[in-house]
Structure 1
Amino acid sequence: MKLIVWNCQGLGALWLVQTLTEVVKLHRLGLVFISKTKCKGRRYDRLKEKFNYHRIGVDAIGRSGGLLLLWRKDVEVWLQSFSVNHIDATIKYVDCHEIWRFTGFYGNPETSKREETWELLRRLAQGSIRP
């Protein structure tokens, strides 16, 4: 299964959405994780409908942050946890028996909060035996 992880620094620009659309369709991506979307649910829903995918989104706070996980209909996703910094999920492609873990992560940009970022990663790592 193909996937992309993209720090887009805002989903507001038309050219960016057009580029994302081309990439998703050209490569028939199974998963799309976007960080720093700088947007909220309605825009997430529009992308979900545009691609005919499912979605989990974490809204931006003001014009900061925002996470989005999109997946095709032939991919099963079980949300394990989420925060303003991560989406953690278990993934299974319908035609495959293997189940694996995906953690989309965006670290806190404030250097004073880096230790919190590392602590979150350590907690997430302890919570799973999956690859």
Structure 2
Amino acid sequence: MSTLTEGRKPTYVYKLVPYTAPPPTPLPVALPVSDLDQTSGFVHLSTASQIPNTLKFFFTADPSVYILRIPYDLIEKDIKWEDPKAEVCGPRAGEGMFPHLYNGFKLGREEVDSMQAWTRSEDGWGDALEQAQHWLLY
């Protein structure tokens, strides 16, 4: 049974990619798999409302990130909504369940509808999030 963060099905889910591992352009059929995804056995994704804390807890040292936007309907059959284990950053109250993609690590040009590069300011990710509000859809 799916439990969604906002209580409804999202329009998009997002994959955050470190600046040190930029996605190739054009996107291939399957992007390289991150160490975290490989170890976990699935592709870690976030909803739009989960992105601020994902940036805060996992991308604090990165000057920039790439955000891949994926239409949820395209991958819904391969998504499991799961509770974060909170071993890395502790409990993340209010964020609910996270979308995890179980499809043999296939995430590429057929699934990703657009991509943006965001740069962290001295104050954190707030400016990038604000500038991307028109693109960051729920």
Q: TM-score, normalised by structure 1?
A: 0.26
* Higher RCO, 1 vs 2 (CA within 8 Å, ≥6 residues apart): 2
Higher strand share: 1
Q: TM-score, normalised by structure 2?
A: 0.25
Which entry has the higher C-alpha Rg, 1 or 2? 1
Higher helix share: 1
